[in-house]
Amino acid sequence: MEVLKEKILKDGNALDENILKVDSFINHQVDASLMQQIGNEFANHFKDYKITKVATIESSGIAPALMTAQALGVPMLILKKAPSSILNDNLLHTEVVSFTKKNSYELTLSKKFVNENDHVLIIDDFLANGEAATGAIRLMRKAHATIAGIGILIEKSFQPGRGKLEEQGFEVYSLARIAKLGKGIIEFVEES
């Protein structure tokens, strides 16, 4: 998606070979117009997949997932990183290891919002090692839902996430695939 690539080049900040800061338009400040375009792009790509829900992990995935859900006309599920003291009795749980933050967290989802009739599109801001998406997949499987596909805003193609997900049989649709990062360096995968 050219508009996202241009935004990454203009406003993204590559700190080193693993970290790309996008806090001015995705993580802290959200570019609403860009999120709407992203949502429309995902909805267009997955329009024939009979999606019943869009899911994302809080918090950076919420804006693009919401725009995707709106464009598809389906509800959005937010997978929580910390269990709610109010909802504890009816939760599905799994543990996820974060590559970026170098820690693990419990990912939860209320059983009442997803079931075996759901065909879920998972949206995430970054794909690196595939741990977050794999955690989301585990939760959907615990609910007996099926996975329609995985939409990623920014993929670090030099890391193994895509391969791990595709080996499990999932379609991964990434809007910006990064081939190389370095201090002040952002290079995209050449798409043919």
pLDDT in tens, 110-123: 889 999 999 999 99
- 132 carries a ligand binding annotation: yes
pTM of the model: 0.93
Per-residue pLDDT at 97 = 78
- Indicate whether 31 pLDDT > 80: yes
Q: What is the pLDDT of residues 75-133, one digit of tens each?
A: 999 999 876 556 566 888 888 877 666 778 788 898 899 999 999 999 999 999 999 99
- 21 carries a ligand binding annotation: no
Residue 86 burial by CB count (10 A; 0-12/13-18/19+): exposed, middle or buried?
exposed
State the helix-helix crossing angle for 32-45 and 62-72, rounded to 10 degrees. Answer: 50
- 117 carries a ligand binding annotation: no
Interior CA angle at 120 toward 117 and 123, to 5°?
A: 165
- 103 carries a ligand binding annotation: no
Residue 140 and residue 147 in contact, taking contact as beta carbons nearer than 8 Å? yes
Q: How many CA atoms lie within 13 A of 54 on its CB side?
A: 26
- 13 carries a ligand binding annotation: no
- 165 carries a ligand binding annotation: no
Can you list the domains of the chain with their CATH numbers?
Answer: 37-179 (3.40.50.2020)
Per-residue pLDDT at 86 = 60
- 14 carries a ligand binding annotation: no
Q: What is the pLDDT of residues 44-62, one digit of tens each?
A: 999 999 999 999 998 899 9
Which residues are CB-neighbours of 165 under 8 A, at least 6 positions away?
Answer: 127, 130, 133, 134, 150, 172
